[in-house]
C-alpha cells in the first residue's frame, strides 16, 4: 500500500472518529434537553395546580427594583433573657404565654416610633429604623424605643416580683443596609449587610437589662442621651469599635428630669434634626410641581429665604423652637405657587396644615408658622420679632450685591404672566419699592442696609441711561 492510500485511510479514520464523537455529544445533549423538558413540565404542572400565572412572576428588571439601599439605618436587636431562671416546676405554657404577652407590648412600642419590625424569632425581635422611608432621625427613634421597652420590662419585674423571670437586652448599630422587598398585598422586608451583623454581635456583648450601641450610633445620639463607655469589640477588617451603654435621656431633655420620657426641649431638638428630612421632601416637591415660568419664586429663592431666616434668627438671639418655626415657615412660604400665583401665601398655609402634622408639629406651632407665612404678603406689616425676621429674610435680596440680576428674574416672571410692561417701567417700580422699603431687624439692617442704598443708586443710573436714549 503506497503512502497516498495510507494517508487517505488515516484521514477517513479520523473523520469516522470525529463523527462518532459528534454522535455521542448529540446524544448527551439530547438527554439533557429531555431532562430539562421534564423539569419544565413538572413546574408547569405545579404552576397549574397552584394557579400561578405569568404576570405573578416579576421579570429580572422588575425584581431588581425591589432591592433598596439605605445609607443611614439603625438596626436593633431586642433579646429576651431569663432561661437560666427556668426550673422544672414552672408551667411551660405560662412561660410561653408571659413571653408572648411581653413581646406583644414591645412590638406596640416599636410601631409607636414608626420603626420597621422585620421579624420575631424565638426570644429575639429584630427591627430597623430608617426604612422604608429614609430619615435622619432613626438613631434617635430607635434609642427612644429601646428606653421605653426597657422600662416596660422593668415595670413588669417590679409588678410581678420573683414570679417574673424575663429580662431584656438590646444591641444597636447605625450604618448602610440593603433591604429586599417581597410580597404584593403585604410588603415584607429582609435587611442585609454589615450593619445587621454588627448589631447582632453588639447584642451578644450587652449585659441583661442594658442598651448597648455602637460608636456610630453614639455619635448621632450623644447630645440627647446619657451614654457611658462600655468596651471595645473586635471587628474583622475594621479593628476594634467602641461600644456605649445608653442610660437614659439627658435630664434637661426629659420630663421631671427622670431620663425616661422626652420633654418639650427634646421635641424641639428632634424637630431641628428632622428638618433636614422635611426640607428634602419640600424641595423635591417644589422642583417637581412649581410652574416653569417661576423664574424668581423657585427652589433657589426658597433655599435663600431658609438660609437667611436662620442667619437673621441667630443674630436676633431666638431660641431653638423659634428657629425651627422660622426655618419651617421659610421652607413653605412660597409652596402655594404650586396651586395659585395670586394669593399664594394662603395656599402655602393649606399645604402646611396638610403636611406638618405628620412631622409631629403641634397645632400651636402650625398656627404660628401660618402667621409667619401670611406676613410675607406685600406690603409687609410684621407684628412681632419672628414676623420681622421672616419679612427681612424674604426680601433679603434687596440689600445684596446680586440684587439687579435677581430683580430681573422677577421681571421676567411677571412679564411671562403679562403683569408688567417695559423694563423701564419695571425699574421705576423697583426704585419706588426699594426706596420705601425698610429692614425691621438690627441684624438685617447691619448686613444689608448699606448695600441696599448702593442698589438704589444703580437702579437710578439704569433709569437715567434709559431716559438718555
Please report, for the chain, the start and end positions of each structural domain, with discontinuous segments joined by +: 62-262, 271-468
Nearest CA among 324, 375, 366 for reference residue 346: 375
Residue 53 contacts residue 160 (beta carbons within 8 Å)? no
Predicted pLDDT at 185:
74
Q: What is the pLDDT of residue 189?
A: 86
74, containing H or E segment: strand 67-81
Instruction: For residue 466, count other CB atoms closer than 10 A to its CB.
Output: 13
Q: Per CATH, is 271-468 categorized as 1.10.3210.10?
A: yes
Distance in angstroms (rounded) separating the CA atoms of residues 258 and 235: 35
How many C-beta neighbours within 10 Å does residue 222 have?
15
pLDDT at residue number 136: 95
Predicted local distance difference test score (pLDDT) of residue 53: 41
What pLDDT score does 29 carry?
A: 54
In the predicted model, residues of the chain with pLDDT beneath 70 are 1-65, 82-98, 160-165, 469
* The overall pTM is greater than 0.85: no
State how far the Cα of 376 lies from the Cα of 162, in Å rounded to an integer.
64
pLDDT one-digit tens code per residue, 214-225: 999 999 999 999
Helix H or strand E segment including 308: helix 299-315
- What is the second-level CATH architecture of the domain 62-262? 2-Layer Sandwich (3.30)
Grid cell 454522535 in the structure block, residue: 23
- Grid coordinates representing 102 are 411581653
SS3 content of the chain, % helix, strand, coil (to 5): 60, 15, 25
Amino acid at each position: 500500500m503506497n503512502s497516498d492510500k495510507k494517508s487517505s485511510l488515516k484521514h477517513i479514520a479520523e473523520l469516522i472518529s470525529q463523527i462518532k464523537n459528534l454522535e455521542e455529544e448529540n446524544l448527551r445533549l439530547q438527554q439533557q434537553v429531555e431532562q430539562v423538558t421534564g423539569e419544565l413540565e413538572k413546574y408547569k404542572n405545579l404552576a397549574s395546580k397552584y394557579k400561578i400565572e405569568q404576570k405573578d412572576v416579576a421579570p429580572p428588571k422588575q425584581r431588581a427594583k425591589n432591592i433598596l439601599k439605605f445609607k443611614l439605618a439603625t438596626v436593633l436587636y431586642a433579646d429576651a433573657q431569663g432561661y437560666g431562671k427556668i426550673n422544672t416546676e414552672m408551667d411551660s405554657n405560662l412561660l410561653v404565654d408571659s413571653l408572648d404577652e411581653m413581646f406583644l407590648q414591645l412590638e406596640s412600642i416599636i410601631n409607636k416610633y414608626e420603626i420597621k419590625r422585620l421579624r420575631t424569632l424565638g426570644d429575639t425581635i429584630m427591627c430597623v429604623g430608617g426604612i422604608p422611608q429614609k430619615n435622619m432621625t432613626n438613631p434617635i427613634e430607635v434609642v427612644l424605643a429601646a428606653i421605653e421597652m426597657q422600662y416596660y420590662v422593668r415595670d413588669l419585674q417590679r409588678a410581678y416580683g420573683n414570679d417574673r423571670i424575663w429580662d431584656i437586652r438590646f444591641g444597636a448599630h447605625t450604618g448602610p443596609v440593603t433591604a429586599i422587598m417581597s410580597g404584593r398585598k403585604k410588603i415584607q422586608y429582609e435587611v442585609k449587610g454589615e450593619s445587621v451583623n454588627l448589631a447582632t454581635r453588639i447584642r451578644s456583648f450587652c449585659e441583661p437589662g442594658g442598651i448597648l450601641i455602637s460608636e456610630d450610633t453614639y455619635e448621632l445620639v450623644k447630645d440627647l442621651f446619657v451614654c457611658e463607655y462600655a468596651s471595645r469589640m473586635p471587628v474583622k477588617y475594621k479593628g476594634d469599635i467602641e461600644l456605649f451603654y445608653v442610660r437614659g435621656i439627658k435630664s434637661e431633655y426629659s420630663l421631671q428630669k427622670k431620663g425616661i420620657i422626652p420633654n418639650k426641649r427634646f421635641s424641639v431638638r428632634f424637630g431641628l434634626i428632622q428638618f433636614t428630612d422635611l426640607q428634602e421632601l419640600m424641595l423635591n416637591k417644589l422642583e417637581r410641581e412649581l410652574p416653569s415660568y417661576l423664574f424668581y419664586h423657585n427652589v433657589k429663592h426658597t433655599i435663600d429665604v431658609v438660609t437667611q431666616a436662620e442667619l437673621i434668627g441667630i443674630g436676633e438671639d431666638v431660641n431653638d423652637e423659634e428657629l425651627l418655626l422660622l426655618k419651617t415657615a421659610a421652607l413653605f412660604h412660597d409652596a402655594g405657587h404650586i396651586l395659585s400665583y395670586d394669593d399664594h401665601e394662603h395656599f402655602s398655609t393649606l399645604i402646611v396644615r396638610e403636611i406638618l402634622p405628620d412631622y409631629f408639629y403641634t397645632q400651636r406651632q402650625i398656627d404660628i408658622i401660618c402667621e409667619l407665612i401670611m406676613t410675607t404678603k406685600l406690603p409687609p406689616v410684621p407684628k412681632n420679632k419672628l414676623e420681622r425676621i421672616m419679612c427681612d429674610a424674604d426680601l433679603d435680596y434687596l440689600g445684596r450685591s446680586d440684587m439687579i440680576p435677581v430683580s430681573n428674574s422677577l421681571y421676567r416672571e411677571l412679564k411671562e404672566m403679562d403683569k408688567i410692561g417695559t423694563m423701564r417701567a419695571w425699574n421705576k417700580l423697583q426704585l419706588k419699592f426699594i426706596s420705601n422699603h425698610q429692614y425691621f431687624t438690627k441684624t438685617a439692617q447691619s448686613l444689608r442696609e448699606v448695600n441696599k442704598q448702593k442698589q438704589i443708586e444703580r437702579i437710578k443710573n439704569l433709569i437715567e441711561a434709559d431716559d438718555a436714549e
